[in-house]
Amino acid sequence: MDAETTVRTLFTLAGVTPPEDEMAAFIEGYPATRASLDLLYAVPDTPLTDGILVFRPAD
Amino acid sequence: MGDASLPFTITEAAAALRAGEVTSVGLTEACFTAADRFDETLGVFIKRYDSTALAAAAAADAELAAGTDKGVLHGIPLGIKDIIACAESETTANSVVYDPGWYAGQDAPVIARLRAAGAIITGKVTTMEYAIGLPDETKPYPVPRNPWDPATWPGGSSSGSGAGVSAGLFMAALGTDTGGSIRIPAAFCGITGMKQTYGLVPKAGCLPLGVTLDHIGPMTRSVADAAAMLAILAGFDPADPSMPPGVAGADYPTMLGGDLSGVRIGIDRANHLGKEGADPMLEARLDESVAALAEAGATVVDTTLPLFDELTQACMITMAVEAFAFHRSWMAERWGDYGLGMRSWVGTGALYTAADYAQAQKVRRIGAAKLAEVFSSVDLMAMPTCAAGSPSYDGLDMGAIVGLIYTPYWNPVGCPVLSLPMGLGATGMPLSLSIAGPAFADGLVLQAGDAFQRLTSHHRATPPLLAEVGA
């Protein structure tokens, strides 16, 4: 899916409709957004993977 | 408080109050006089509490005269960032999109603690909208400006807090910090700011930006003042579920002393120097600061922080997603009512997936573990807060600014960080040193900052604006 389709779809799913000039800016910036995520997914896994989102039922 | 004959810091004012040299009413009136003089230029106050503040100051004077002493903040005028609830007025978050009934007539726990300690609340001050973005001249709020050069940005998002302390509109302030919003305006305005350990100070009654990254903390003219405020602010409150049960602060002022013998401080040059757009004086100011820390007795050694870019990105993604989750319903109905800077930032939160958010949290956990390894070989870390001083409003570009700001690294790992002045840069604007430590080593961080300020005078420099009017 290309950046424009992806960004428009994600905003539609979120129920938010920026005007076209702002939508264009989000689309233009989307490759950089994905690149920042690639950086995170490149961090090697460790045993700390477990428990990254903590839920304590007694809280 | 631009009046040079008045005490400069809280610590000095507390002594002067008890010596009968000043009164709380006098201090508070001096702050409002400074506001009358400078605020049209600086855009600090959203709402002033003149009558209630002066009444509280008169009560403080009467209490002190009667021998009822509530401690160092008794009778001290403070400013409050307008995302923190105060009973006197609604909390606007510098936005036209807000719930006027939220915490109506109530104090956030931190405000209640400050009042119980005798502090004087002078009013609510400007913030970036919901603590993110840039000022928007199309919205009905003041545009905050830097007392060191009103053509420049005071930093954000705790803009009014930074500018107000720097210009003497109050003696100290509360700010909040999700990716640097205390430390950046402290750096740009030449004052001291503290982001203490996550979960040490309750943030109930504070509108969220990124709930797992947000901190409320002190912005002051000295580290000793920050220590005094943190001692009042810290400690468990059941209204904030992010606080570890039973977490307690400490008597931080008693931990200060000036001697850093036996303290090992890592200096991160690799991630902080040599950036395009950096102030030409940055490395020299850092070297001078390192020399001062060594003079205080610390052992300094070059140390590179792990996963610097990764944790910075984890902060940005977490902030955007958590902020979008909070604002989504309003954004669906009132997108254009938000300022362009705010909605451009927060809107990106719609573009990440749930897996992306979870990955960011995984990187936080891995980063915290790697940082713990660093803190097994050094006690503290030191580095520049930002690569350059305050940028001009002319052509202000948040994308360019982000690359010169080093603060977001520390929020995902929750460590305490102190930002303090380290001299002027090539443009004549303040530059700032950050000192960080492992979680809950807030006392040691303050101790190092105080030792630095005992050997330097950067924190006592005042903006040219004050001298120009003879203040």
Tell me the C-alpha distance between B193 and B436, whole Å. Answer: 12
How big is the CA angle at B253 (ends B457 and B183), to the nearest 5 degrees? 55
Cβ-based contacts of A17 with chain B (< 8 Å): 332, 335
- Catalytic residue of the set B89, B95, B157, B432: B157
Helix (H/G/I), strand (E/B), else coil: B302: strand
ipTM for the whole complex: 0.94
Reading the block at residue B398, the tokens are: 């948040």
Beta bridge partners of B308: none
- Is residue A29 within 8 angstroms of chain B, CB to CB? yes
Tell me the pLDDT of chain B (471 aa) as tens digits.
Answer: 556 678 999 999 999 999 999 999 999 999 999 999 999 999 999 999 999 999 999 999 999 999 999 999 999 999 999 999 999 999 999 999 999 999 999 999 999 999 999 999 999 999 999 999 998 889 999 999 999 999 999 999 999 999 999 999 999 999 999 999 999 999 999 999 999 999 999 999 999 999 999 999 999 999 999 999 999 999 999 999 999 999 999 999 999 999 999 999 999 999 999 999 999 999 999 999 999 999 999 999 999 999 999 999 999 999 999 999 999 999 999 999 999 999 999 999 999 999 999 999 999 999 999 999 999 999 999 999 999 999 999 988 888 788 899 999 999 999 999 999 999 999 999 999 999 999 999 999 999 999 999 999 999 999 998 877 655
Q: Cβ(B408)–Cβ(B193) under 8 Å?
A: no
DSSP B122: E
Which is it for strands B380-384 and B264-267: parallel, antiparallel or unpaired? parallel
Q: Is B181 a catalytic residue?
A: yes
* DSSP at B174: E
d(CA B13, CA B11) in angstroms, rounded, equals 5
Q: What residues does each domain of chain A span? A: 1-6+17-42
Active-site residue flag, B377: no
- Of the candidates B229, B232, B312, B296, the residue with the CA atom closest to the CA atom of residue B262: B296
- What predicted TM-score, i.e. pTM, was given to this entire model? 0.97
Which residues of chain B does A52 touch, with a Cβ-Cβ cutoff of 8 Å? Answer: 358, 361-362, 364-365
Contact: A40, B310; criterion CB under 8 Å: yes
Q: What is the distance in angstroms between the Cα of B358 and the nearest Cα belonging to chain A?
A: 7
The secondary structure of residue B120, as a DSSP letter, is E
Query: B125 pairs with which residues across the strands?
Result: B45, B81
Nearest to A26 among B313, B328, B347 (CB): B347
Active-site residue, B432 included: no
Chain A contact for B336, CB < 8 A?
Answer: yes
